[in-house]
Amino acid sequence: MNPAADPNRTIDIHVPVLTRVEGEGSLEFTARNGKVEKLYLRIYEPPRLFEKFLEGQDYTEVPTIAARVCGVCPIAYQMTSIRAMETLFGVPSDPWIHAMRRVIYYGEWLQSHTLHVNLFAAPDFLGFPDAISMAAKYPEEVRRGMRLQGLGNDLLRLLGGRSVHPIGMKVGGFHRAPPRHEVADMVDKLLIAREDARQFVAWAAGLPYPVDEQEFISVAIQHPQEYGITEGRLVSDHGLRVSFEDYPTHFREYQVAHSTAYYSLMDGRSYFLGPLARMNLNFDRLPQPVQALAQELGIRFPSHNMFMNVVARALECYLAVEDSLRILSDYQLPARPFLDVTPRAGIGHYCTEAPRGMIYHRFELDDAGRVSFATMIPPTSQNQLRIEQNLQTAMERFGLEHSDDELRQFCEQVIRNYDPCLSCSTHFLRLEVHRD
Amino acid sequence: MEHKPKIAIHKFASCSGCQLAFVNMGEDLIELLQLVDLVHMAEVGSMAPEDQQVDIAFIEGSITTPHDVDRLLKIRANSACLITIGACATSGGIQALRNNADSGEWMRSVYAKPEFIQSLSTSAAIANHVKVDFELWGCPVSSRQMFTAIRTLLYGVPPLSLREKVCQECKRRGNVCILVTQDAPCMGPVTRTGCGALCPSFGAPCYTCYGPAEGVNTASFGQRLIGLGLHPDQVARRFASINNAAPAFSEATRLFAGEEGKS
Amino acid sequence: MSVANCYLPWEAEIVERTQETPDIFTWRLRFTDPEIARQYTFQHGQFNMLYLYGVGEVAISVMSGDGSSLLHTIRAVGRVTQAMMDLRVGDRVGVRGPFGRGWPLFDARGQDIVFVTAGLGCAPVVSSIRYVVANRPDYGRLVIMQSVRYRHEALWAPQYDAWRGLPDTQVLLTSSRDKTRWPLWELGRVGVLLDQADYDKNNCYVMMCGPDQMLRDTAKTLIEKGVPGPRVFVSLERNMQCAVGHCGHCQMGGKFVCKDGPVFPFPEVAALMETEGF
Amino acid sequence: MAEVPRYFPRARLAELISVVQRAGFRVIGPRVDQGALVYREIDGVEDLPQGLTDEQAPGHYRLAANGTQRHFSWANGMSAIKPFVYAPRERLWRVDRDTHGIHFRPLMSIAPRTAILGVRACDLSALILNDAHFLRNLYPDPYYRLRRENLLLIAVNCSHAASTCFCASTGDGPEVSGGYDLLLNELEEGYLVHSGSPSGDEILQKLATARPSRRQLDQARHQLDACRQQQRAMPPAPRLTGLMSRLDHPSWDAVAEQCLACGNCTAVCPTCFCHREVEAPALDGQSSVHRRDWDSCFNEDHSYLVGMLVRPDIKTRYRQWMTHKLATWQEQYGRSGCVGCGRCTTWCPVGIDFVAQARRVLEDEA
Ligand SMILES: Cc1cc2nc3c(=O)[nH]c(=O)nc-3n(C[C@H](O)[C@H](O)[C@H](O)COP(=O)(O)OP(=O)(O)OC[C@H]3O[C@@H](n4cnc5c(N)ncnc54)[C@H](O)[C@@H]3O)c2cc1C
Ligand code: SF4
Ligand code: SF4
Ligand code: SF4
């Protein structure tokens, strides 16, 4: 152990590359006289200007291109743009399509969440520098996580053809209805995976987490009956209750002079998105078996301990398995897996719950169904301000007397906890480093 | 095998999807890690510096900043074999669309304070900057492509690279051609094989994510798309998609966007 | 070759390995199954499919030997052959064969024999030269013409020198890319040797191996000089994968080079060799 | 149609299928998929198309209702029998490595006993050509043979020719002349059925059939006669060898402008046999599987030789396809390799008309 350092020293920490996050970013902060003075989360991701590429594209092409913003949550990008256009075109809802959309979403959640819990987060709490060294000590746990991740990929493949940039969805529904025998195979896999998923939650809930109580506003999609994913309205635990098209009146993006990226504010305040926010708002909408497991394991929501985000993620994995199983067990082949759409001019707004939290799209289309203006706001940019605030208070509470190394490690943990997806580069810039 | 080969996966401007394809190998990944040392892959927390000597460096993403160029040169100098993975690294990716646009103008319209952005005006393929030993096309590459490449290299043999058209695999799978039965603007006849004819197997038209095949006849095919009812601009956009900067496709884009005469 | 499954290789061991030039090596192979070794026979000009574990197969002429001592000379040019160069004595490979139609050495008895080769094309021919040399009394004059790009690439140079000393034997060599002329060597393509060759054009067999263009040009010159067309034989190369006339890659018009060839009387293929694309 | 056929009404078709299934065969029949008819496994008569006909033209295929109760009133679908005997992808053998060496083992998948229902005259002719290529060879192909020996062929005489059909001119149709186990003629209200083999006899015995009426026999004959009136005709085989003396004809350049070299034609052609061998090593390095995949002379690697391509461009590749199919095939197998099914024309994405192109090279007025 390091001898305690002087908490009043000037600390300059620069974590050059954040590891075990999606994409690449870095953190830089300076403390003087026991106070954090400056703290930047930097995103390396160079701008890729997707919103611009979308201009002039036919609405049919949008899901394909939008997916490329992020290989980690392409379904969220595809689905949000698809639903934005469908609402504009007035496409009626269809129970089969709705159910299958939940399943493909669960696939993405499961894939992304298990990857995070298993390979990114667990090494932090079990004291390993990375997943590879953890795997040597915990081979069975790592394999179980990989099996569940594989199951997420299988769900994605069933409806989308492949796990990264799936090709199965279109405006109006799906290109293909999976044949019965493929669904039956999937049901078998889900049945087997149930127990894995329960153990996975128990394991995740039992990791030795620090306590990091934070003040924050949770924001998520809420649906009257279901755990909100692709349908519903935006709610917060501070009284927000609005439809998706009201997003622009409450949420605002801004760029700050000293910072590297766009930040988002909701009614002038920072807010928090992601699995924990969803659990905080929608726990009572979870299917019975999922709520029961949480109770059995003593998991309680709402919670303001940031590290419960990992547990929330694990519980959503179980949700994904249970609910997909329920949906696919009653599978019926539809006459057609999509509805016809007729493009029309106007503006379509939509939000869905990406693995990392709510994502917002807005498309302006002309009469031919071509995009004239696009906005896509990923969850990580919305969480950005929250992460920095979290770091600031958590760091002071953790104690600046810790060595630089320990501080650095702690910061990384805090950041990773959000599973920030830095690939969602629509609004991230890379700027010069400002050093003292 | 005397020494365990070292492999690294580096990321430039990309969506991380190709790396994810690697992580998505599932239990094969565990098998693979017994055969090789993964010394650099920020996503999973392995972080050897760029100047560590490796046997195989996989590169994801395109080159968009001067800093990228420095990093890439360092990686190249220290890798016995350098392989690009995915459309971004191999052809510049979807973001290469800005190469033809006034990117200053684009930046201004997307970002309030573009003066902070340090960015080359283009999104360039890795081969535009350094020598590339092999290219794995696809957006994203599949896990299979990656481990087949690694497996073959472990045998001391360059990976095989098939460049036939998607149609061939589509027919092997027994799919009905949706271009012929539904007038769907499927790009299979100009797109390189590798995906297993995924889209047409789902009844969806191919959109070129594996890049141009060998010996493509884009002029004739573009005319055919016009015959199916597409406007020449739509034809140009079919080519100017995921691999818009691949020469065969950027030429086709110019041809149908009618810019041939202007330049 | 096993008639039950013509696709299935047999295991063979590399029992000896010689590096001939920086990129050419010779293997001596032995089938590990003694029964197969015992049954194996071949004709000069035929080839085997050699399989590299985990990578694939290539067509390689059989130089000489029998099932327990099979010689193959290979030039490392691509994926499979370059990796084959790294194999060591004791390593195992797969072998299928022999395939195809060989040289007409039996019909050619009593006649003058003219060998013309260019580049590595010499491999399939060298075994036949050795055969003729070993059965010298059965044949008339022996003329060996060989062109290489550079003199230092001449494989088996000592062997050529030895042949030069045999009675009734002429060895003519040329290098097409060297700048200086060496003693006993000409400069230029194989054509420059044809006038020096001494053989009875009405009673000879010509056997040639090399790039298509050289084969075509030389065959035409020889026929113009009066050699009967059906006495001029060429060994052709085409992409080969199955070696049994199924996969279609080696087709040249109506011929399957793997089973109808690789050795053809020139008139059978003359027309196709005139046009690009066959 | 030498001996007198038997007759059964349409309602009994289901029974025929179940008799065949009970005899231990999986039944492959025409099914609608993505707007076309293709041979797929069927469970029963309900999976067959009914009242559908096909409209085919260069680069164009559509199904349309024709107001009948018929199941076979269409010309042909996307593929013939080829994929069921010569699989698009076939694992040939596997090799395992251990400290003793490498061990080869053939991978002969057990070919299920397969009945194909709805086989056309052109398909059967093509099958005979497939046999010639794969079996009447110094090295018969064991994989092909296994599948071939497990086939039961239930053929149907065509009652309608598509605009792309020209089997009458190649002598391969529309009437089935042999090589089947059972042969059907579909009439308005039922089927005439012939047996062509002992297996056919066996099945026919288990089926309740009747003597056909004169009217029914006439109907079958008229249908076939009508079907012989086809819009396209390939020049006779001896003329086709003339392609080889026209290798410099300018129309090869013209067709190369249009051809995509995508190989759809060779893939749907029931007689094309080209394939490549592919190695699939296991990740752990302890074993490897060697397989073959359909290939096409339109692919660059088809004619690859170290450092060069024998056929470097679309022109030489298109010319290879046409000259092989129509001319040099005759040298190999004693007849042209084209059975007049017209698939290469229908399924060409840019609609190159095979017959018209052959005529252009031969400067033959249609
Ligand atoms: C009848 C015959 C006899 C031959 N005898 C010899 C010999 O004795 N010694 C020798 O060194 N070479 C010989 N060759 C040539 C040898 O087969 C090729 O050099 C070899 O196939 C190249 O394979 P590669 O994988 O190293 O090259 P790549 O360039 O990587 O070729 C890839 C693949 O293409 C095919 N291919 C490429 N070139 C040829 C070719 N010329 N012939 C057939 N298939 C090819 C093979 O399947 C090969 O694996 C012979 C070829 C034939 C047809
Ligand atoms: S069919 Fe085309 S777009 Fe679809 S996965 Fe394959 S290459 Fe990509
Ligand atoms: S060449 Fe065309 S018409 Fe002839 S058999 Fe083949 S696909 Fe049918
Ligand atoms: S060479 Fe071409 S035309 Fe001939 S069988 Fe092969 S693929 Fe078909």
Distance D272 CA to ligand 1 centre (A): 24
Beta bridge partners of A421: A22
Q: How far is residue D84's CA from residue D29's CA, in Å, rounded to a whole number?
A: 12
User: Is the CB of residue B226 less than 8 Å from the CB of residue B209?
Assistant: no
Which residues of chain D neighbour C277 with C-beta distances below 8 Å? 247, 310-311, 315-317, 319-320
Say if CB D81 and CB D119 are below 8 A apart: yes
pTM above 0.90, yes or no: yes
Question: In angstroms, what separates the C-alpha of A234 from chain B's closest C-alpha?
Answer: 26
Give residue B121's pLDDT band: very low, low, confident or very high (50, 70, 90): low
Centre a 10 Å sphere on the Cβ of residue D108 and count the other Cβ atoms it contains: 15
Mean pLDDT lowest among A119-123, A172-176, D291-295, D304-308: A119-123
The DSSP code sequence of B142-174 is PHHHHHHHHHHHHTT-PPP----BHHHHHHHTT
Mean pLDDT for the stretch of residues B182-210: 97
Q: Which ligand is nearest to the CA of B152?
A: 1
CA pair distance C92, C72, nearest whole angstrom: 14
Per-residue model confidence (pLDDT) at position A430: 28
DSSP state, residue D245: G
Structure tokens at A278: 């969803």
Q: Does residue A343 have a cis peptide bond before it, meaning omega lies within 30 degrees of 0?
A: no
DSSP D29-63: EEEEETTEEEEEE-SSGGGS--SEEEEEETTEEEE
Domain boundary among C55, C70, C99: C99
Whether residue C121 sits in one domain with residue C42: no
* Long-range contacts from A80-83, C-beta under 8 angstroms, 24+ separation: A80/A350, A80/A351, A80/A352, A80/A354, A80/A359, A80/A360, A80/A361, A80/A376, A81/A350, A81/A361, A81/A363, A81/A376, A82/A169, A82/A170, A82/A171, A83/A230, A83/A350, A83/A352
Q: Strand pairing partners for D184?
A: D156, D193
Q: Looking at the complex, report in whole angstroms how far the Cα of residue B216 sits from the nearest Cα belonging to chain A.
A: 23
Average pLDDT value for residue range A68-88 = 93
The whole-angstrom distance between B16's CA and the closest CA on chain C is: 31
Chain B residues closer than 8 Å to D84 by CB: none
Look at residues A420, A410, A354, A363 and name the one whose alpha carbon lies nearest to residue A387: A420
**Average pLDDT of span A196-203:** 96
pLDDT at B63 over 70: yes
Residue B211 has pLDDT above 90, yes or no: yes
DSSP B99: G
Q: How far apart are CA D266 and CA D283, in angstroms?
A: 33
Structural domain harbouring C231: 112-274
Query: Is residue D285's pLDDT more than 50?
Result: yes
Strand order in the sheet with D275-281: D101-106, D89-98, D287-294, D275-281
Q: Which chains have 3 or more CB–CB distances shorter than 8 Å to chain C?
A: B, D
Contact B172 D293 (CB under 8 A): yes
Is the pLDDT at A3 greater than 50? The verdict is no
Cβ contacts of B156 on chain C, cutoff 8 Å: 83, 86
Distance in angstroms (rounded) separating the CA atoms of residues A157 and A167: 9
Query: What is the spatial distance between Cα D289 and Cα D277, in angstroms, rounded to a whole number?
Result: 11
What are the residue ranges spanned by the domains of chain B? 6-154, 166-262
Ligand 4 midpoint to CA A9 (Å)? 79
Tens digit of pLDDT for each residue in D343-364? 999 999 999 999 999 999 998 7
Which atom from ligand 2 is nearest to the alpha carbon of A162? 5
Q: Does D323 touch chain C (CB under 8 A)?
A: yes
- Per DSSP, helices labelled H in D78-193 are 82-85, 121-134, 142-149, 167-170
Ligand that lies nearest to the alpha carbon of residue D56, given by its number in the listed order: 3
pLDDT at A113 over 50: yes
Asked if B157 lies within 8 A of C82 by C-beta distance, the reply is yes
Give the least confident one: B14-18, B133-137, D37-41, D201-205.
Answer: B14-18
Of C4, C237, C244, the CB nearest to D137: C244
Q: What letter represents residue B46's amino acid?
A: S
Collect all residues of chain D within an 8 Å Cβ-Cβ radius of residue C249: 274, 276, 295, 302-303
- CB of B241 shorter than 6 A to ligand 2: no
**Which residues of chain A neighbour B23 with C-beta distances below 8 Å?**
115, 119
C contacts of B152 (beta carbons < 8 Å): 54-55
Query: What value does the mean pLDDT of chain C take?
Result: 89
Average the pLDDT over each of A157-161, B32-36, C178-182, D175-179 and give the range with the smallest value: C178-182
Q: What is the pLDDT of residues A204-251, one digit of tens each?
A: 999 998 888 889 999 999 999 999 999 999 999 999 999 999 999 999
Residue B219, exposed/middle/buried by CB under 10 A (0-12, 13-18, 19+)?
A: middle
Distance C11 CA to ligand 1 centre (A): 20
| Confidence check: pLDDT of A25 > 70 | no
Report which DSSP code applies to C33. S
D215-239: pLDDT as tens digits: 999 999 999 999 999 889 999 999 9
B210 Cβ below 6 A of ligand 2: yes
Question: Do D95 and C11 contact (CB within 8 A), yes or no?
Answer: no
| Interatomic CA distance for residues A307 and A413, integer angstroms | 9
Rounded to whole angstroms, how far apart are CA atoms C49 and D165? 42
Q: Which H or E element spans position B7?
A: strand B6-11
Confidence category of residue C119, pLDDT binned at 50, 70, 90: confident
In a domain, C262, yes or no: yes
Residue B153, chain A, CB below 8 Å: the answer is no
State which amino acid sits at residue B134: F
Give yes or no: residues C203 and C264 share one domain: yes
Q: Name the minimum distance, in Å, from the CA of B220 to any CA of chain D.
A: 5
pLDDT digits (tens, 9 = 90+) for A356-404: 999 999 999 999 999 999 998 888 888 888 988 888 888 888 887 887 7
Interval between CA C57 and ligand 1 midpoint (Å): 9
* Tokens 């700050």 found at: A256
Distance CA C100, CA A82 (A): 60
* A abuts B (3+ Cβ pairs < 8 Å): yes
Domain count, chain C: 2
Type and span of the H or E element at A359: strand A357-365
Q: Is B157 within 8 Å of C55 when comparing Cβ atoms?
A: yes
The band of C1, judged by pLDDT with boundaries at 50, 70 and 90, is low
Please provide residue C97's backbone torsions phi and psi, each rounded to the nearest 5 degrees: 155, -170
Atom of ligand 4 nearest to the CA of D322: 3
Domain ranges of chain A: 50-384
B173 CB neighbours in chain D (<8 A) are: 88
Please, which residues bridge with residue C29 across strands?
C14, C70
Give dist(CA D294, CA D270) in Å, integer: 12
pLDDT, residue D347, reads 98
Other Cβ atoms less than 10 A from the Cβ of D211: the count is 9
Q: Verify whether the Cβ–Cβ distance D33 to B176 is below 8 Å.
A: yes
**Sequence spans of domains, chain D:** 6-228, 237-362
Q: Is the CB of B246 under 6 A from ligand 2?
A: no
**Domain check: are C149 and C179 in the same one?**
yes
Residue with the larger pLDDT of the pair B108 and C243: C243
pLDDT at D22 over 50: yes
Output the residue whose Cα is nearest ligand 3's atom 7. Answer: D269
Same domain, C123 and C241: yes
pLDDT of residue A13: 61
Chain B residue nearest residue A168, CA to CA: B202
Domain B6-154 has CATH 3.40.50.700: yes
- For strands C112-118 and C142-148, give the pairing: parallel
In sequence order, what are the residues at sequence separation of 6 or more whose Cβ sits closer than 8 angstroms to the Cβ of residue C223? C229, C232, C266
Where are the extended beta strands (E) located within D157-245? 182-186, 190-195
Please say whether the beta carbons of C26 and C73 come within 8 A: yes
Spatial separation of the C-alpha atoms in residues C276 and D2, rounded to whole Å? 50
Distance D138 CA to ligand 3 centre (A): 26
* Residue C4 domain-assigned (yes or no): no
Ligand 4 environment, Cβ below 6 A: C 248, 251; D 266, 272-274, 296-297, 320-321, 324-325
Q: Which residues of C touch B161 (CB under 8 A)?
A: none
Rounded Cα–Cα distance for residues C59 and C43 (Å): 15
Q: Name all residues whose Cβ lies below 6 A of ligand 1.
A: C 47, 56, 58-61, 73-75, 77-82, 120, 123-124, 237-241, 262; D 304-306
Using the 8-state DSSP alphabet, how is residue A46 labeled? P
Whose CA is closest to A352, among A248, A197, A247, A262? A247
* Tokens linked to C145: 């013409």
* Residue A198 Cα to chain centre, angstroms: 21
Burial of D160 (0-12, 13-18, 19+ CB in 10 A): middle
pLDDT of residue B187: 98
Residue C117 Cα to ligand 1 middle (Å): 17
Those residues with Cβ within 8 angstroms of residue A283's Cβ, 6 or more apart along the chain or in another chain: A291, A294, A301, A302
> What local confidence, expressed as pLDDT, does residue A259 receive?
53
Residues C207, C252 share a domain:
yes
Map residue D258 onto helix, strand or coil. helix
Query: B220-236: b or e for each residue (b if 16 or more CB lie within 10 Å)?
Result: bbbbbbeeeebeeebbb
Place of tokens 């070794």: C37
Closest to A419 measured CA to CA, from A81, A6, A142, A25: A25
| Nearest-angstrom CA–CA distance, A218 and D150 | 65
Q: What is the pLDDT of residue A16?
A: 53
Q: Which of B148, B155, B162 is the best mutation test for C, with the most CBs of C within 10 A?
A: B155
d(CA D35, CA A148): 37
Measure the CA–CA gap between D128 and D126, rounded to whole angstroms: 5
State the CATH class of domain A50-384.
mainly alpha
- Which of helix, strand or coil describes residue A337? coil
Residue of D nearest to B204 (CA): D34
The preferred substitution site among B166, B190, B202 for testing ligand 2, maximizing ligand atoms within 8 Å of CB, is B166
The alpha carbon of D344 and the centre of ligand 3 are apart by a number of angstroms equal to 5
- Where are any strands of DSSP class E within chain D? 6-9, 26-33, 36-41, 52-57, 60-65, 89-98, 101-106, 114-119, 151-156, 182-186, 190-195, 275-281, 287-294, 304-305, 308-309
Measured from the Cα of B207, ligand 2's closest atom is 3
Contact B16 A22 (CB under 8 A): yes
Q: Do the Cβ atoms of A39 and A13 come closer than 8 Å?
A: no
Minimum-distance CB partner of C277 among D93, D95, D319? D319
CB crowding C130-150: b at 16 or more within 10 Å, else e:
bbbbeeeeebbbbbbbbbbee
What order of strands is seen across the sheet that includes strand A241-242? A219-222, A233-236, A241-242
Which residues of chain A are within 8 Å of residue B42 when distances are taken between CB atoms? Answer: 17-21, 24
Q: Which ligand is nearest to the CA of B86?
A: 2
Checking DSSP bridges between strand C263-265 and strand C232-235, what pairing results, if any? antiparallel
- For residues A424 and A40, what is the distance between their CA atoms, to the nearest angstrom? 18
Residues 49 through 78 of chain B touching chain A, CB cutoff 8 Å? 64-65, 68
Determine whether the interchain pair B203/D300 forms a contact, defined as Cβ–Cβ distance below 8 Å: no
* φ and ψ at residue B211, rounded to 5 degrees: 80, 180
| Whether the predicted pLDDT of A432 surpasses 60 | no
**Residue C270 falls within a domain, yes or no?**
yes
